[in-house]
Amino acid sequence: MGLASILLERGARSLLTTAKDVLDADKALQTTMGALIDARRREHEKNPRPKWRHGDTFEMLLAGYVGTRNTGADVRTEEMVKQFRHLLGDEHASLSILTIDPEWTRGYFKTLKQLHVPQLFPTFLYDQVKRFDGVVACEGSMFKSKFASALTTMMVGALGLARAEDNLAIGYGGEAGAMDASLETMIETYVKGSLIITRNPESSSVLSRLGIDSRVGTDTAWTFGNEAVDAPNGLSEKLLRRAGWDGQKQVVVVCPIHPFWWPVKPDPWKALVHQVSGAHAKSHFRSIYFHHDAPEVEKRFVAYLQKLSGAMIDIARSRDVFPIIVGMEALDRGACERLAEMVETKTHQKWPVFSSAEHDMFEMVSLLRRASLVVSSRYHALVCSMPASVPSIGVTMDERIRNLMKDRGTPELSFEVDEAGLDTKVRDAALKLLDDREAGADPIERSVARNLHSMGRMGAMFVNHVRAAHPRYPFRDGFGDESNPLIHLPALPALQTRILERFGDAT
């Protein structure tokens, strides 16, 4: 940082030191959001808005983290949309969705109106949520501080504003984990009365501690796929051959992330300096948000990449495979490129890099499903590969992958990003899986079958929640019966259909 930047930053901070001591930027955002929810509740008590009536179009808003080319967020939301359209019927309901960048969601979420949500969202939500009969929070990391407290603030804000007018508020297939105390207070205050369906029992336990009732469901990515994604000669064939694949070698996928630069926090002072001088460019996320950039972050990141690259190089040397590096979110590009550089330095070989910044969710999932092995620090890379029975290993920074592997019955295939001997452990586990793929297929397919049933039961819960508020909603006969979960799923792709035919009772 240059002298001018240092002086500017010191000047800005000295002028605003008192405000900074009083107001943490995350807490300020939460306070603002809470005040707007309270204001909406007072408005509703004085002048309640008309409720949905039979014959009207049911208007529903989906609030999540789409528009960043996060493949997992896009896939789970795409499948949520399909399920809701299946349950509500296009002739009776109109769905809208929040997007951070409409250019990166162009062509996604067919029939939905996309609303561009600004980075500073409280007043936007205040103005928009009142137009809808119900809100669904769709973010997977719904109630957590690990990535960004602001994201949870947005989920709580959308749910709270809906509840303030006694409208439907639903959290669908999300995770709850460690949170700042101020976020916990916000959830305790504004989420009660919502239907919260978590994606695992561990998340429901976290919410129970906060006094929030929830039901256990699953993630919503399990139904994703189509012929182009899943066919051997589909999207993956073209992408891989263009990258040098010979059509014969086993494809091995590694999905790195930057595990140590979270959480993202708003910092107006850094933002001011960055805008004027360009300082803090490496840690800048977007708008006034910045990644964690303490001195030890880079050291830990390099150690993680060295261990991961070492494991993958050993695998490539031990087996005749075609390794590729996959960035499941556009944000992962830096981790992918640095991993590729390490590999090239050690082996003088260039491994292909596929980033969601250049490839849509259909292409990304097609690559995962063509693989013979996936090693991933991204939760949804594992989930999206499982319908194709692809063996996989998780290298995790938090509880999401641990919970998934526990559910799958393979907790021994989950490792920590900073675990001692990570390289050796990943290598040894990977070689076993490559040598006996069939041995690992049964627990994967049973898990897919269980989760498809669970997603169907979630659909029944959704129907019953809407029906309780609007008894005259024209649902199809049979909808709402949790004992018949599969009727609540949209038409399934061939891979999932085959698994249900084999393990249909594995619930």
* 255 HSE (CA, 13 A, CB side): 33
The alpha-carbon radius of gyration of the chain (Å, integer) is: 23
> In angstroms, how far is the first alpha carbon of the chain from the final one?
57
φ/ψ region of 392 (left if φ > 0, alpha if ψ in -120 to 50, else beta) reads: beta
- Give the mean pLDDT of 381-404: 95
Token output for 118: 């600004």
Distance from C-alpha of 258 to C-alpha of 236, rounded to nearest angstrom: 26
Whether residue 263 is preceded by a cis peptide bond, meaning omega within 30 degrees of 0, is yes
Cβ count near 398 (within 10 Å): 19
Decide: 285 and 291 in contact? Cβ < 8 Å. yes
Query: Tens of pLDDT along 471-491?
Result: 999 999 999 999 999 999 999
| Stretch (H or E) spanning 376 | strand 373-376
Q: DSSP states of 170-196 as a string? A: EEEEE-B----HHHHHHHHHHTTTSEE
**Residue 8 pLDDT greater than 90, yes or no:** no
Residue ranges and CATH numbers for the domains of the chain are 6-47+55-220 (3.40.50.11720), 227-262+293-435 (3.40.50.2000)
71 class by beta-carbon count within 10 Å (0-12 exposed, 13-18 middle, 19+ buried): buried
pLDDT at 261: 67
**What digits encode the pLDDT tens for the residues 219-233?**
999 999 999 999 988
State the virtual CA torsion across 289, 293, 297, 298 in degrees, nearest 10.
Answer: 100
Rounded Cα distance, 353 and 23, in Å: 42
Residue 382: half-sphere exposure toward Cβ, Cα within 13 Å:
26
Q: Which amino acid is located at 305 in the chain?
A: L
CB of 200 closer than 8 Å to CB of 194: no
Q: Identify the pLDDT of residue 440.
A: 77
pLDDT band at 289, cuts 50/70/90?
Answer: low
Decide: 67 and 101 in contact? Cβ < 8 Å: yes
